[in-house]
Each structure stands twice: as C-alpha cells, then as structure tokens.
Amino acid sequence: MFITFEGGEGSGKSTAIKKIVETLQKEGYEVVLTREPGGTPISEEIRNVILDKKNTNMDPRTEALLYAASRRQHIVEKIIPALKEGKIVLCDRYLDSSLAYQGGARGLGVDKILEVNQYATDGFEPDLTLLFDIEPEKGLARIAANAGREVNRLDLEKIQFHHDVRNAFLGLAKRFPQRYFIVDASKSIEEVFNQAMNEIERRLHK
C-alpha cells in the first residue's frame, strides 16, 4: 500500500506521520517512511537546489521539472522496490504537491503539470492520499509558534499563495475522490492523528 500525505504549511502532517509509523510498526507492518522532494541521495540533491533560499529567481517551469525529476528517481529507486517487498510506503508529499503548488498556486495549470509528471511517474498513483486541510492563517501561525522548525523559501510566500494551494488541493480531492481522504487539520494533534489513522486502518482491512 502506497500512502501519501499532503497539505499546506503547518498542517501538523509531519507530527501525525511519525505517530502513524509507530502505530503501524507496533501492529507488525513493515513501513518505509520517505518524503518529497527527496527520499534518495540524488533526489535529496535536487531538493537542495529547489529549496535553496539563494534560488529565488528560479523559473516556475524549471522548478516543476526538478520536482518531477526528483520524483522519478524516488519512485524507481525506493518506492516501487519497497512495495514489491510487501512494505507499506508512507510518503510526505508526492505528485499532488506538484499539482497544487506548481499547477495551481504558481499558475502553470494542473493538467499541464499532470502531463509533465506522467513521464516521470508512468501513471503510478498512491492507493490513498490524506489531505491535511487547514486555513492558511492557522497553519502559518503554528509554524511561527514552533521555533524549532526551519523556515524555507516557500513559507515566506504571500498568504494568497497559501490560499491558492489549499483551494487547489480541495479541487484535487474532488477530482480524485477514490484515493483522497480529507483530514480536518484544525483539530488537536490527537484528533488529527485519529482521523488519519482510522482511514488507513479502514483501507488496510478492506
């Protein structure tokens, strides 16, 4: 089973993922936790180029192609081999982040980004995509309150950008209802975890 975690900044996604990994491992599942952009040495190098604060003049299409390139390496080198070994793969962000950020918020168009990524993914899709949905104002306030987290270039973008990301994700949830599940991420850490975990259990036992 391939599960992806999506959402805006400060949605509590990373905290929930950690608890989900622990829970699944206790239940006896073999779990691989990974992230995008990144997940393999080559993909992590591409990540550094994309997220480097020096690279604010990066062209939006360059950025979209780098995400897709990083994803290709990740799928081939890590995700597919782990699934073949019968492991559950949990991925912190995947294709839908490109669709929402580059396609929606950056204005390149969701269909265009889907097309670009088709070459990278060969149509390989998650079984379940958990969308951690929260109002951008609330998410960004959480980040500011959490001094331990590094602020990256994208966090600094205007608030409208984050609204565009959110709306794009909600549009994707409507477009791909069979694999999407929306978590109300404005709730407490415990409740957010429970919503996500219950849905994973439901799908595992189907």
Under the rule (CB under 6 A), what is the footprint of ligand TYD?
9, 14, 36-37, 51, 67, 92-93, 97-98, 101-102, 152, 154
- Smallest distance, ligand TYD to C-beta of residue 139, A: 9
Nearest to ligand TYD of 67, 193 (CB atom): 67
- Smallest distance, ligand TYD to C-beta of residue 7, A: 8
- Smallest distance, ligand TYD to C-beta of residue 205, A: 28
Nearest to ligand TYD of 154, 204 (CB atom): 154
- Smallest distance, ligand TYD to C-beta of residue 20, A: 15
Question: N- to C-terminal Cα distance for the chain?
Answer: 12
Nearest to ligand TYD of 155, 204 (CB atom): 155
> Per-residue DSSP letters for 47-61?
HHHHH-GGGTT--HH
Nearest to ligand TYD of 1, 143 (CB atom): 143
Nearest to ligand TYD of 34, 195 (CB atom): 34
CB-CB contact of 40 with 69 (8 Å): no
**How far, in Å, CA of 184 to CA of 13, rounded?**
11
Please identify the residue of the shown chain whose CB is closest to the bound ligand TYD: 101
Alpha carbons within 13 angstroms on the beta-carbon side of residue 172 total 34
